[in-house]
Amino acid sequence: MQLKATKLIPYFIVIAPIILVLIASFTITSFYLDKISNYFQNAQVNSIKEHVESKKYKSEIWVNQLNLLFDNKNKILQDDIQTELQARVDVAYSTARYIDAKYRGIESASQVKSRIVDSLSNMQWNENKNDIAISNLNGNPIALSNRPLKRRNYANYRDSDGRAIVLEEAHMAKKRGSGFLQSRTFSKKNKEIILVKNLGIYNWFISSSIHLIQREEGLKRSLLELLQSMPLDKSDFMGVYDEGKAIFLSSKMREMLGSESLDVIRTSLSKESKWHEHNIEGYYYYSTYYKPLNWHIIYGFDTSVVSQKEVKKQEELSKLLDEEVDFIIKSSASIVFLIIFVSILLSRKINSIFNTYQKEVQGRTHELLQLNESLEQRVSEEVEAHFQKQKMLVQQSKMAEMGDMLSMIAHQWRQPLNQMSYVLMNIDSAYEYDELTKEYLQDKITEGNKLLEFMSVTIDDFRNYFRPDKEQELVLVSDVVEASVELIINSLDMHEIEIELIANGKELTNIYRNEFIQVILNLIKNAKDALVHNSVENPKIRITSTCNKEGAIVEVCDNGGGIDETILDEIFKPYFSTKDKQSGTGLGLYMSKMIIEEHLNGKLTVFNVDEGVCFRIEVDAN
């Protein structure tokens, strides 16, 4: 089967590149065609959007131009009215001043006043009399004009807007001499423009007014005629509404929109200038409010109708898309054929090289098979050698610890043996001097049994230490530390080394008890050796135990001068020792680190402090 597959490889070398080229070409061409198509579709959509935005912009300009035209026409109307009023009042003023100058001192004041009133009351403009009113500066009438104001409570008269218009006239004449005012006499539609002027004699002022309603109606008619004569694009429409009533609808607006659409437009009228794009499907329209005439002006267009220029632009885009697609397909086909041709040539060359290397690989394969036959045996031998090396290290460490333990037992037994010797000497002396009584002998036997029991307990403690742990135990780590110290306390006392135990927390931790004791003893013994070697005054070892829910932390610190920083990372390596060959094997810290990190899944680290060094043990609760 493998031989058959190997024979197919040359054919695969020829066919695979061709298939990959075809797939890649198809994928790239499809992707690019899709991208080009999306681009042109977006271009068409954007073109239509630009057309609509352009129409909206032109429509707003058109409406704004209309507003400017309306403002101009309205201003001309206002200026004409003010000019006419100014002419009236100036003639009346000149006439009154002339009569007063002519007859003052010749006739009495009442006669002169009567002449002035008669003269001004008979003045006529546009076939209307009584266009001039005379009042005193307190607002009381002297001669009424044709304004529809009653003589009674004349000064307190208020117009339809609630203004005391006569008092305002008097105030303007008194303070400013002359000026124009606007008022609404009966309804808010009936507006009038008033010109007042202080005569400067008899504490009088004159006034004249013109009503705007008829003149504004004439202005509206002329503006509507102007709108009817304006040309619009074939897709545009325009309308004017006066108080919600259509007073002008362009022919296109009547043709394009039905009664329902016109009702929608009428109900959407507001004093805010804005576009309405969703009220009528297929149509946009802009509404604005012209306040001076209380008109709503509508200008809109059919969004589906585009200009000839836009149609031509869309046709050009479509043509360009067809040309791009044709170019991409032809280019892709040419590239595919070229790559297939080159691929065939390269495949033949690769096939030749492959056959050469195949023969070479077969030779190398035969060599590898021979090598693999011996590899498993070599690996097994190396693993066994490593195991024996580790076993030897452990044995060496145990033997070194055995010597230390025998030394500790000797220290532990020295005092009770001396006491036992004293007990025997006391019994011998008592016998020699005939003082050995049964009670005395019984007391000494009891004392000797206590000493022997203490020595037996000591042997049991060290025997338990050397018994291997089979299972982990839940223990209070600070208690294990105290038990460890008890095993070596006599050795510390002999060298007058103070030991301080600090215990924090009561949480239990799961550990191998005897292995943990072995680590603590190693750390205490190293601290003791450093203190003795450096002849430290007031030597001290401090052991701090912290037990909580996360686990246990034990720090063994001394004041023995610390460890050189250059070798701090080396001290946990096997056979590395700072002591001479007779005093240390270099296995204690190595075994301690292996026990903590491999057996207890913890962490053993070292760091220098001010006066010495600290070893830190961290063990998780689980």
pLDDT digits (tens, 9 = 90+) for 52-100: 777 888 888 888 888 888 888 888 888 888 898 898 889 889 998 999 8
Please check whether residue 592 is in contact with residue 523, taking contact to mean a CB–CB distance below 8 angstroms. Answer: yes
Average pLDDT (405-430) is 67
Asked if the structure places residue 56 within a domain, the reply is: no
Asked if the structure places residue 543 within a domain, the reply is: yes
Q: What is the pLDDT of residue 398?
A: 55
Packing angle of the helix pair 477-494, 513-533 (nearest 10 deg): 30
Q: What percent of the chain has pLDDT over 90?
A: 9
Asked if the structure places residue 187 within a domain, the reply is: yes
For 323, other C-beta atoms within 10 Å of its C-beta total: 10
Same domain, 182 and 248: no
Same domain, 531 and 484: yes
Task: Report the CATH number that the domain containing residue 256 is assigned in CATH.
Answer: 3.40.1840
CA–CA gap between residue 503 and residue 506 (Å, rounded): 9
In the chain, the number of structural domains is 3
Nearest C-alpha neighbor of 165 from the set 200, 129, 153: 153
Local confidence band at 224 (pLDDT 50, 70, 90 cut-offs): confident
Q: What is the pLDDT of residue 383?
A: 62
Asked if the structure places residue 39 within a domain, the reply is: no
Same domain, 606 and 506: yes
Task: Report the CATH number that the domain containing residue 514 is assigned in CATH.
Answer: 3.30.565.10
pTM of the model: 0.43
Same domain, 501 and 613: yes
CA–CA gap between residue 500 and residue 504 (Å, rounded): 13
Asked if the structure places residue 328 within a domain, the reply is: no
CA–CA gap between residue 269 and residue 160 (Å, rounded): 26
Asked if the structure places residue 580 within a domain, the reply is: yes
Q: What is the pLDDT of residue 264?
A: 84
Same domain, 276 and 165: no
Choosing from 256, 279, 304, the residue where a domain stops is 304
Same domain, 496 and 571: yes
Q: Residue 612: which domain range? A: 468-620
Tell me which of 124 and 14 has the higher pLDDT.
124
Which residues on neighbouring strands pair with residue 183, listed in sequence order? 192
CA–CA gap between residue 210 and residue 387 (Å, rounded): 124
Asked if the structure places residue 433 within a domain, the reply is: no
3-state SS string over 358-407? HHHHHHHHHHHHHHHHHHHHHHHHHHHHHHHHHHHHHHHHHHHHHHHHHH
pLDDT digits (tens, 9 = 90+) for 190-218: 788 889 999 989 999 998 888 877 777 88
Task: Report the CATH number that the domain containing residue 109 is assigned in CATH.
Answer: 3.30.450.20
The yes-or-no verdict on residue 137 having pLDDT over 80 is yes
Same domain, 100 and 160: yes
Least confident range from 362-366, 449-453, 535-539, 579-583: namely 579-583
pLDDT digits (tens, 9 = 90+) for 457-487: 556 655 555 555 557 888 898 998 998 888 8
Same domain, 477 and 606: yes
Average pLDDT (228-252) is 83
Same domain, 518 and 607: yes
Same domain, 183 and 93: yes
Asked if the structure places residue 106 within a domain, the reply is: yes
The yes-or-no verdict on residue 177 having pLDDT over 60 is yes
Choosing from 272, 304, 336, the residue where a domain stops is 304
Choosing from 257, 273, 304, the residue where a domain stops is 304
Q: What is the pLDDT of residue 300?
A: 86
Same domain, 241 and 182: no
DSSP 595: I
Q: What is the pLDDT of residue 458?
A: 57
Same domain, 191 and 265: no
Nearest C-alpha neighbor of 621 from the set 513, 547, 555: 547
